[in-house]
Amino acid sequence: MALNPRSTRKAFKPSPYNTHRNSRGLPRWLILLVLGILIGSGGVILLQTSYGPKRLTVLESEKLTSDFTALTLKEQTQQNTITTLNSQIKSTKTASEQLIAEAQNEVMALKKQIEPTEQTLKAFRQALADNMRFEPVAISADTFTQSKQQASINFQLLFLQDPKDQTAFQGTADITFEGRYANGRAGAIKTDLLPLDVNAHQLIEGGLEFPAGFVATKGTVRVYKLDSKRALGWRTFNIKQIP
């Protein structure tokens, strides 16, 4: 009997688990990997868009950079200004300290010059006080002078306190000028009250306008306590008439 080769069954049947690579398609694992990456990236983008911080646009980013640069320049300018001011303050302080030191030296020098004068004045006041009465203060003055060409008189009074009295005298004084008017009638003109605060001595200068034609012959200085009209002491001075 002849064998038919076409009807003969194949001795080997391929296994359904054939691992032969199909060159016409991509592997499943690669496709799944790509899909996972795409889905994951989309999820991240969705989360950032929905819940993440807002992203700046290009214009906003440029504006933010510009503002930061401006603030940095402003801070540098202010720092330079502060440095300059500190330098000026130090210079001014140094100059002030130098001026103060110079002024103190001048004061010390003047004090040394004044001390002999104070001693001389103290001796003079003591010698003057020995020949005067204190009621409660002594009154001294140069001769009053009146010019015939002027209807006024100027005066200068020196009030002295007893060197033994340590309490300053406070009170008032006035001057009564006696004389005659142009028609020959006698009259008297009194100054306003002069405030006194005599501590060792006090010099008072002033003047008084007379009526036209009034010629003064003498002036009497009276001293009062505060708020009192009773004179505690007085002294009369002649008035010299000059051309």
Quick one: average pLDDT of 220-243? 89
Average pLDDT value over all residues in the chain: 80
Token representation of residue 27 = 């592997």
**Which residues on neighbouring strands pair with residue 173, listed in sequence order?**
194, 223
Task: Output the DSSP codes for 194-209.
Answer: EEEEEBSEEEEEEEEE
86 compared with 50, residue with greater pLDDT: 86
Q: Where are the domains of the chain?
A: 60-131, 137-242
How would residue 218 be classed by pLDDT, with cut points 50, 70 and 90?
very high
15 compared with 171, residue with greater pLDDT: 171
CATH hierarchy code of domain 137-242: 2.60.40.10
**pLDDT at residue number 241:** 83
CA dist 137 and 160 (Å) reads 6
**pLDDT at residue number 217:** 92
pLDDT (tens digit per residue) in 23-80: 566 788 888 888 888 888 777 777 666 666 666 677 877 888 888 888 888 888 888 8
Q: Is residue 113 pLDDT above 90, yes or no?
A: no
183 compared with 241, residue with greater pLDDT: 183
**pLDDT at residue number 1:** 46
Task: Give counts: helices (H), strands (E), the chain.
Answer: 2, 9
Q: Is residue 210 pLDDT above 80, yes or no?
A: yes
Q: Residue holding tokens 């402003």?
A: 74
**pLDDT at residue number 48:** 66
CA dist 31 and 28 (Å) reads 5
pLDDT (tens digit per residue) in 150-199: 788 888 888 988 877 778 899 999 999 999 998 999 999 999 999 999 98
Q: Which of 221, 134, 141, 242 is nearest to 177 (CA)?
A: 221
